[in-house]
Amino acid sequence: MPGIRAVGRRIDDLMSGRPCRMKTEHAAENVSAAETIANNRTENQDRRGGLMQLFYAPRSPFSRKILATIVELDLATRVSLVRIDPWTDETLRRHNPASKVPTLLLDDGSALFDSPVIARYLDTLSGHMLIPPVPRTWDALRREALGDGLAEAVIRRFVDRLGPHDDRLDRVVTRQEAAITAILDRLETAPDWMQAPTDLGHLAIACALDYLDGRSPELNWKTRSPLLAAWFHDFRARPSMKIAADPIIGTFRSINIPHPPAEV
């Protein structure tokens, strides 16, 4: 049974997007989706400004939300990806004292974090395509908060279940499960948002559901939420979602993926 120190480190692993030592997951490949995006680029992209760097971790639902945002906004040629290990690479800490992903390094050397801030900045570069004008702004941001809240609850539940079973941890796990259930129910029972034009909230929800699938399949959420499951099945087929799960050279202007750290 892992001790409290080990469990605490696993919390940081998961919140930063670093692969959990308990399990290695594999992202699905989709080269054709990447080629589609690459072939649809226009010369206008190269006139919008300098190159930005996105520090990311492939399993982080928050990193994936930003990757999907970049593709949806047609900004891929303006971003260089840097796959990072927050535990060992001090470059990230120099830009983000919390050493968390995602972190976006702008062409002037300043950095933006965390994912809601980065998403808002990217949306300003594209003419506000994913955050609609008032009054629909608040609907989109509310959905984003629900998606981010779902991802955070899944992370906490997964990690807390790794620790020694005592009354306190059991209560924490129960609380996270209640949050997961309540968010799924809210999304299922008020389904009008599923038909709305795609916004930042849709991306956050989809990335959280994808993470839920990978981290906690035993919850069998699709049986409880059939409308949400059907929406997710269709939405995850979007090129932005496929590329977020497995960034491909040719979609982004440049990419740096060092060998991941060995599993311990």
Which CATH number is 27's domain given?
Answer: 3.40.30.10
Task: Give the per-residue pLDDT at 249.
Answer: 58
Task: Give the per-residue pLDDT at 256.
Answer: 55
Residues 251 and 120 in one domain: yes
* C-alpha separations of 127 from 32, 35, 73, 120 in Å: 27, 25, 9, 11
Task: Give the per-residue pLDDT at 138.
Answer: 97
Residues 106 and 154 in one domain: no
The residue whose two tokens read 């470059």 is 91
Task: Give the per-residue pLDDT at 246.
Answer: 84
Residues 153 and 211 in one domain: yes
Select from 93, 15, 26 the least CA-distant residue to 60.
15
Residues 18 and 145 in one domain: no
Residue 263 within a domain: no
Give me the number of domains the chain comprises. Answer: 2
Residues 169 and 232 in one domain: yes
Residues 215 and 247 in one domain: no
Task: Give the per-residue pLDDT at 35.
Answer: 42
Per-residue pLDDT tens digits for 53-109: 999 988 899 999 999 999 999 999 999 999 987 777 788 889 999 999 999 999 999
Residues 19 and 118 in one domain: yes
Task: Give the per-residue pLDDT at 49.
Answer: 54
Task: Give the per-residue pLDDT at 130.
Answer: 97
Mean per-residue pLDDT pooled into runs of 10, the chain (264 residues): 47 48 39 42 43 92 97 94 82 90 94 98 94 95 98 89 76 93 98 97 98 94 97 96 80 54 33
Find the domain containing 42 and state its range. Answer: 9-127+242-256
Residue 145 within a domain: yes
Select from 169, 178, 216 the least CA-distant residue to 8.
169
How far is Cα 174 from Cα 113, in angstroms, rounded to an integer? 30
Residues 17 and 122 in one domain: yes
Helix or strand (DSSP H, E) at 165: none
Residue 78 within a domain: yes
